[in-house]
Amino acid sequence: MPGAGDILRRTIYSPLGAACMSLLPCIDIEPKTPATATVILLHGLGADGNDFVPMVSELQLPASMAVRFIFPNAPAIPVTLNGGYVMPAWYDITEINIDRKIDAVQLIDSAEQVRLLIDRETDRGIPSNRIVLAGFSQGGAVSYQAALTYMQPLAGLLCMSTYFATRDTITPNSANKRLPILICHGTRDPMVPERMGQQAHQRLDAMGYEVQYRTYPVDHAVCAEEIADISQWLQRVLA
């Protein structure tokens, strides 16, 4: 099928590889022609980089956009909320409440690991303002931290079914004060209630960011209507 979803090369980068030492392992999907933009998308708790790979073709982006998609894999760590079970996670969740008690040090460390992936893209010739950072659930919480503190302007921030975990402690970088942000949330989400998405929207609005907020009649998932909205948004911010 034509479009940015044409997979010419699907490479799994490993931190054991000499070319990407210290980087998160990730799945890198190339467009049909040399990439001129990049989307880095972080998965949620217990998933891995493969979780959102099918979305590349579903977005039906024009082939002319030439977008590289990168899907990092979180490390496997014990998660207190799940009885200490070891699973892929960007940070530990120790308690579920209205604000969610988390290991903020681990979240910030994960955001730093994402920053290294952004730096790699600029080293590969993609300007920072052609890079979109995105995340679902836990991945979205890390994306808030990573994007808003990045020292060069990015193209956009996409947050799906997530929350702004560091909203009271973050020190944003002025380079991204005009960062376009799209928040998507399911109105029936039992894992991350929609009020948490609303709180993020309100906080970002108060901080002066350009935010679009979209809701969908789904639970903790991504639906076809949401993917269509994301496609239109990506085409706008990467125009």
Positions marked catalytic = 137, 189, 220
What are the strands, taking DSSP E only, across 56-209?
67-72, 76-79, 85-88, 93-95, 101-102, 131-136, 156-160, 180-186
Least Cα distance to 238 among 130, 124, 152 occurs for: 130
Q: Between β-strands 76-79 and 85-88, what pairing exists: parallel, antiparallel or unpaired?
A: antiparallel
Crossing angle of helices 138-149 and 104-123, in 10° steps, is 60
Instruction: Please count the CA atoms within 13 angstroms of the CA of 11 that sit on its side-chain side.
Output: 14
3-state helix, strand, coil in the chain (%, to 5): 35, 25, 40
